[in-house]
Amino acid sequence: MFRHLRASDERFKSVDFHEGLNLVVADTTKESTETDTRNGAGKSGLIEVLHFLLGAKFERRKSFLGKEELRHIDFQLDLDWPTLSGQSLQVRRSLEKPNDIYLYPDITGSRLAPEGRRRVALTEWQQLIERDLFSIPNERRGISARSMLSLFMRRVGSNAFNEPIRTWPQQTLAEAGANLAYLLGLDWQLASKYRELATRESTRRQLSAATKDPVWGKIVGRSSELRGQISDVQQRVNELENQVSSFRVVPEYERLQTRADEIDQRIRHMRNEDVVDRRNLIDLEAAMQDVSDPDIDYLERVYADLGVSLPESVTRRYDEVRDFHASVVRNRRNYLETEASAVRERLAGREAERVQLGEEQSRLLRTLNEGGALDALTALQQALAHERALLESLRNRFEAAQTLEASGAEIKAERAQVENQMRADLVERDRIIDEISVRFREYALRLYGSDRSAYLAIEPTASYLKLLPHIASKDSRGIGNMVMFCFDLTVAVTAHRADRGPDFLVHDSHLFDGVDERQVARALELASEVADTEGMQYIATINSDDLAKAETAGARLQYSVIPPRLTDAYEDGGLFGFRFG
């Protein structure tokens, strides 16, 4: 239950709530003229502030509270909280920093000291509301506590009074049906499948239209082609993951790599030198074979054949020449043999060096093959991240392609299956549905008597779980609003009894527009009785003339009126105490 509502601006009119029926009245003043209006008194603004404090998203340019004059105001709400025994929870939220919510005491379940306020983000506050006010399980899809709160506190600005089931025009019937199924104790998980099917059908239609575009059609692709691409990329991802997991960073990797390159260049250079030396060795060996002593003996034979006798001096000179030539040949042969030996030594030396360098090169290559440099590991990780992103993109495209290729008949068949499952489940929950229907009919009969037929029909369709509250009428707006009143009261009581919803229900004065004063009186009396019986709180904003008419019709409501009494005084009569915007 709400207890106290206040603001940091002293002009704001604080509100103190109590159990049972709470009426916030907008009155006229003695100075009021025909041009004055109570539409700016702050009746709807009160509900907007309550929503703001209970986790509504805040868009400054769209919200009623987004006016510049309100920017520096903090609001605080004290309310009973299910997890606190005998102590109220204080919720504080600022229009200047709407994403920060301050709670006291700390209800987050953290190990922080409970002293002082606990600041939580908006999303965490919404999760706490889901957990404690609505007992929504962690594993939930298709239902929302914020959407449910819009049933317990309907907003005029969201057109929540257009119909009982939906609280804003863009809300799908499938989503509304899933939320109501949860509050009424039905199979909300089954009801939420309608929403999933509706989303799939909407996506299929959009993609089907988009594929007619030549560029977008290539982006989506065909599922058969994408499946092959996914398999290929997945293989690359697996290989890269194995490389990264087995990668070993080698210290001084660059130095080792440089040394390995130097060895390779040295071996190549020695091979070139070997080629030159082997050619030189061949030439030297050939030259040694061609080297021989000069033969001058044939001269004596030639002269003897001619009958010429050479003197001894000439013969001696021949011997000297022969000795000289023999010395030259001997020296050349020695030189050639020395050069050949040097070449052979160089070849042998390089071969030994090559063996040594080869062993060193093998060790370096083994080290380099077993690991790599840190930048190589980084490159591998970047490649892996790229392939993973590509894989995720392909999977998204694959899902989109599958959705696109799914035929309308397939979705239609699934809708029929959900409808049959929902129908079977409702049969099993027949007792619960009877209790809900009887409760709604009881409330409707309290307002209109037994002459009108009244019922709450719950039945599955192919698209959503249909809930149809009905009171027989001739399309009267006033009766339509009372249908909404009975429906909201039925949902609130049913949810509260099962600990699936809060113990309060708030209605704006717009709900009573066009309603006969007798029905207004009966509705407020009924709300008061139900709130007292169920241990709940019913809050309604109402204009003073409607209140007077209800009291004339026999309702005793003065004791339910709570301060402040709002007026149509232009400057300071409204809830905020000053005019803005």
Domain ranges of the chain: 253-370
Q: Which amino acid is at 159?
A: N
Report the run of H or E that residue 220 belongs to, with start and end: helix 214-220
CA 375 to chain centre: 32
Q: Which of 230, 211, 136 is nearest to 178 (CA)?
A: 136
Burial of 335 (0-12, 13-18, 19+ CB in 10 A): middle
- In the predicted model, residues of the chain with pLDDT beneath 70 are 29-41, 110-116, 207, 210-221, 243-244, 246-257, 259-260, 291-319, 321-322, 325, 360, 363-377, 379-380, 404, 406-407, 474-475, 570, 581
- Could you give the CA distance from residue 47 to residue 379 in angstroms, rounded to a whole number? 57
Query: Do the beta carbons of residue 49 and residue 6 sit within 8 Å?
Result: no
pLDDT of residue 300: 62
Q: From the CB of residue 344, how many other CB atoms can be counted at a distance below 10 Å?
A: 14
Query: Per-residue pLDDT tens for 325-335?
Result: 677 777 877 88
Query: Do the beta carbons of residue 57 and residue 122 sit within 8 Å?
Result: yes
Q: From the CB of residue 97, how many other CB atoms can be counted at a distance below 10 Å?
A: 10
- Could you give the CA distance from residue 446 to residue 486 in angstroms, rounded to a whole number? 10
Burial of 253 (0-12, 13-18, 19+ CB in 10 A): middle
Q: How far apart are the first and last CA of the chain?
A: 31
Query: Do the beta carbons of residue 78 and residue 86 sit within 8 Å?
Result: no
- Could you give the CA distance from residue 508 to residue 63 in angstroms, rounded to a whole number? 17
Q: How many helices and strands in the chain, by DSSP H and E?
A: 16, 12
pLDDT of residue 10: 94
Q: 25 forms bridges with which residues in the sheet?
A: 542
Query: Do the beta carbons of residue 471 and residue 523 sit within 8 Å?
Result: no
Query: Do the beta carbons of residue 560 and residue 521 sit within 8 Å?
Result: no
Which residue has tokens 């404090």?
A: 53
**Tokens matching residue 503:** 């113990």
What string of DSSP letters covers 56-101? Answer: ----TTTSGGG-GGGTT-EEEEEEE-TT-SS-EEEEEEESSSTTEE
CA 279, 281, 284, 288: dihedral to nearest 10 degrees? -130
